Amino acid sequence: MDFNPSKRSQEYLSRLKEFMQAEVYPVEESYLKHHQQNNSHPRWKEWTDYPGVAGIKTRAQEAGLWNLFLPDSKWGQGLSVLEYAPLAEEMGRVYNAAEWFNCNAPDTGNMEVLYHFGTEAQQEKWLHPLLQSEIKSIFCMTAPQVASSDATNIETSIVPEGDEIVIEGRKWWSTGLGHPDAAVAIVLGKTNPEAPRHQQHSMVLVPLDADGVKILRMQNTFGAYDPPGGHGEIIFDKVRVPKANLIQDLGSGFAIAQGRLGPGRIHHCMRCIGAAERALEMALLRSGTREAFGRPLARLGGNSERFAKARIAIDQVRLLTLFTAWKIDQHGVKNSLSEIAAIKVVAPNVLQEVTDLAMQIHGGAGLSDDFPLSSFFMQARALRLADGPDEVHLGTVAKQEFKKYQP
């Protein structure tokens, strides 16, 4: 069991760090200001992306720092989950930077679905343009009328009628729905309520310009709309699509969704670790250059001990996440359920705690948009719900533990 980055992973990481220094950090502040000044409103049709993003994406693609998450050299860079993990951490140091390398959710998860389960026609129509970042995609799972913490608790219906699939229902917190390039949604819905619990659901591709698709609004988080993609509420009003848009078979949707969420949680967690490292770095630098009551902040109020605990927590969650990545590579997602659930609980909580410490060290400035800390805090708090709340994942860990002692 070796968690050291492979030679290939180290080489990618070195190039990624150089690219981040040259292309990403210099525009971090102006990127955030662009969205604060131009997109801090719910009128998503008026949202614009930062003008420099297209050029950064082109240069990232030319540098071979593109689609790093996909473990297939034909479609991506052929990196394993463990090899990709430190790259995701590095991208996580800048809020939303993963998008500039075509490595951000929900596109990554949707591309993995199409890669593993899509037909050749579906890959040609949707996967290829997603891999080039020519379009954006949405994943529609959460619904407002039910407790979506239960992933089988789906009200939206996906029903076959002749050569078509009819979709009816409402979804919300659909990430990326407001993006100017959003083109297609992968929708999870219920087909047969009488089937076994995990065989009731289906997954289907729905173009956002299809008749009956109605985007109701963008939802804000702590008052922010998270442009340029945002998170929106959408209605599917008797939407009809060809049966060819069905992903795999009727009744296979839940299994596909669970497979989709496994590697994605590694990505989220490693980005959390990168953000936590950045937050701790900022706190340490701030505490060494600011004084109060004649002493550096680092020496006041037990701050040294808090910094030490933050370092311990970050290193612990990194090791657990790397172990999980290794286990997925070696034994698959189905045999790594406990570890995936564990990191999904721990990583966002560590980011939230470390960011809170950094905010406290920065004083009122830490709450402002002058620093990326407020974005990191929002990211951490949202991730404690996204892809399943803490309580569900704790339940998964407990369930796997009980299994060890059952006859």
Check pLDDT > 90 for residue 300: no
Pick from 297, 203, 190: nearest CA to 259: 203
User: What is the Cα–Cα distance from 319 to 326, expressed in whole angstroms?
Assistant: 10
Tens digits of residue pLDDT in 71-90: 888 888 999 999 999 999 99
Query: CB count, 10 Å around CB of 353?
Result: 18
What is the per-residue pLDDT for 22? 98
Query: Does pLDDT of 224 surpass 80?
Result: yes
**Residue 297 pLDDT:** 84
Reported confidence tier of residue 184, pLDDT bands at 50, 70, 90? very high
Stretch (H or E) spanning 157: strand 157-161
Residue 263 has pLDDT above 80, yes or no: no
- Reported as a single tens digit per residue, the pLDDT across 160-172 is 999 999 999 999 9
Return mean pLDDT, the chain: 94
Q: Residue 30, Cβ neighbours under 10 Å: how many?
A: 11
pLDDT band of 149, cuts 50, 70, 90: confident
Residue 141, C-beta contacts closer than 8 angstroms, at least 6 positions apart = 148, 151, 154, 171, 188, 257
Give the per-residue pLDDT at 80: 94
Of 12-21, 165-174, 282-291, where does mean pLDDT reach its minimum?
282-291
- From CA 330, how far away is CA 318, in angstroms rounded? 18
Q: Report which residue type is found at 279.
A: A
Are 166 and 240 spatial neighbours (Cβ–Cβ below 8 Å)? yes
Q: What is the pLDDT of residue 171?
A: 97
- Three-class DSSP category at 407: coil
Distance between CA 395 and CA 401 in Å, rounded? 10
pLDDT of residue 337: 92
Is pLDDT at 262 greater than 80 in this prediction?
Answer: no
Q: Tell me: pLDDT of 261 over 80.
A: no
Per the omega criterion (within 30 degrees of 0), is the bond before 242 cis? no
Residue 335 has pLDDT above 80, yes or no: yes
Q: How far apart are CA 275 and CA 354, in angstroms?
A: 9
Residue range 317-321: mean pLDDT, rounded: 97
What number of other Cβ atoms are within 10 A of residue 101's Cβ?
26
pLDDT (mean) for 155-163: 96
Pairwise pLDDT comparison (208 vs 264), residue with the higher score: 208
pTM score, whole prediction: 0.94
**Confidence category of residue 299, pLDDT binned at 50, 70, 90:** confident
Asked if 235 and 208 count as a contact pair (C-beta separation under 8 A), the reply is: no
Band of residue 294 on the pLDDT scale cut at 50, 70, 90 = confident
**Is the alpha carbon torsion for 115, 116, 117, 119 positive or negative?**
positive
Nearest to 380 by CA among 268, 258, 227: 268
Q: What are the structural domains of the chain?
A: 7-131 (1.10.540.10), 136-251 (2.40.110.10), 254-403 (1.20.140.10)
pLDDT bucket at 312, cuts 50 / 70 / 90 = very high
pLDDT digits over 340-387, tens only?
A: 999 999 999 999 999 999 999 999 999 998 999 999 999 999 999 998
291, pLDDT greater than 80 = no
